[in-house]
Amino acid sequence: MTTADAEWPLKQLDEVDDEPKGPVGKAFRLSAADSLSLGNALCGFLAVCVLTWSAISQLQASGGRFSPDPRYFATAVVLLLIGATCDLFDGLVARRFRASAMGAELDNLADVISFGFAPAFMVVVWAGFSPGVPLWLVLGAAGSVLVAGVVRLARFACVKTKSGDFMGLPIPMGAMTVVSVVLLFQPSFVALAAIFAVAWLMVSRIEYPKPKGQLAAVVLGWIMLNVACLTVWAAWPEGGDTLIKVGASMQIALVTAIPLRVVMFKRSQRKEQRREHRPVG
């Protein structure tokens, strides 16, 4: 063994130690946008806590029988809508002011909690105690929401569309659609099939427009309107039922209409291409 061979491991260690390191100090500095992402995660956590407290308190009071309390669901949904507002603004704040080194990662982790785990847990609380549907199917539907949300976020971080739009249903909109199904319908096979369909839309290749400019303002107004409707629903159950049903129905209609519009647009494009390539004579 030569002297160079004997020194080779030491050289490798020196090279590893001398590798350039990134700005570690800057990675621990939270920006204003990061605070909104953390607020989003906290809202998702509180929504799960509210639903858990609802289930535990009712089970203790009724001796093992559980029926979901609409007011607890309203509180959980308001928290998720506040989280959606934070998620809408964190990117705007990051572009306007300053983004930290871990801003994108914080945003995705917060979205998993608020728009992946929280709505999946809501599905379990909504249908897990229902005798009309098997528990394994309820867990499958809830799990599909969580898994689809995680895959959707991972793909968003890796794949960029040519148009700049979202590929697949954005996870906040997917979560709100799942919540709308929970608020509108009683647990059933059809309602669970709708939840599976929402999970599929999140991982589909259907392009959804990204909220920019006036569209972003419309989305914000839509969220604020939903918060107002839910607040009325929680405080005034007799008259607030109609408001929340209208809002939830419009949410489902919006999510359903976009894929249909995309399919119709693609069909029209194909027809035009066929006409252009059709031989004249």
* CATH of 31-233 among 3.30.70, 1.10.3470, 1.10.1060, 1.20.120: 1.20.120
Q: State residue 194's pLDDT score.
A: 93
Q: State residue 190's pLDDT score.
A: 94
Q: State residue 22's pLDDT score.
A: 47
Q: State residue 15's pLDDT score.
A: 44
The Cα 141–Cα 126 span in angstroms is 12
For the segment 137-173, what is each residue's pLDDT rounded down to a tens digit? 999 999 999 999 999 888 877 766 665 567 788 888 8
Q: State residue 8's pLDDT score.
A: 45
Q: List the beta bridge partners of residue 208.
A: 166
Instruction: Give the residue extent of every domain in the chain.
Output: 31-233
Q: State residue 166's pLDDT score.
A: 73
Q: State residue 230's pLDDT score.
A: 63
Q: State residue 148's pLDDT score.
A: 93
Q: Which residues of the chain have pLDDT under 50?
A: 3-4, 6-25, 281
The Cα 207–Cα 131 span in angstroms is 38
- For the chain, the three-class secondary structure string (H helix, E strand, C coil) is CCHHHHHHHHHHHHHHHCCCCCCHHHHCCCCHHHHHHHHHHHHHHHHHHHHHHHHHHHHHHHCCCCCCCHHHHHHHHHHHHHHHHHHHHHHHHHHHCCCCCCHHHHHHHHHHHHHHHHHHHHHHHHHCCCCCCCHHHHHHHHHHHHHHHHHHHHHHHHCCCCCCCEECCCHHHHHHHHHHHHHHCCCCHHHHHHHHHHHHHHHCCCEECCCCCHHHHHHHHHHHHHHHHHHHHHHCHHHHHHHHHHHHHHHHHHHHHHHHHHHHHHHHHHHHHHHHHCCCC
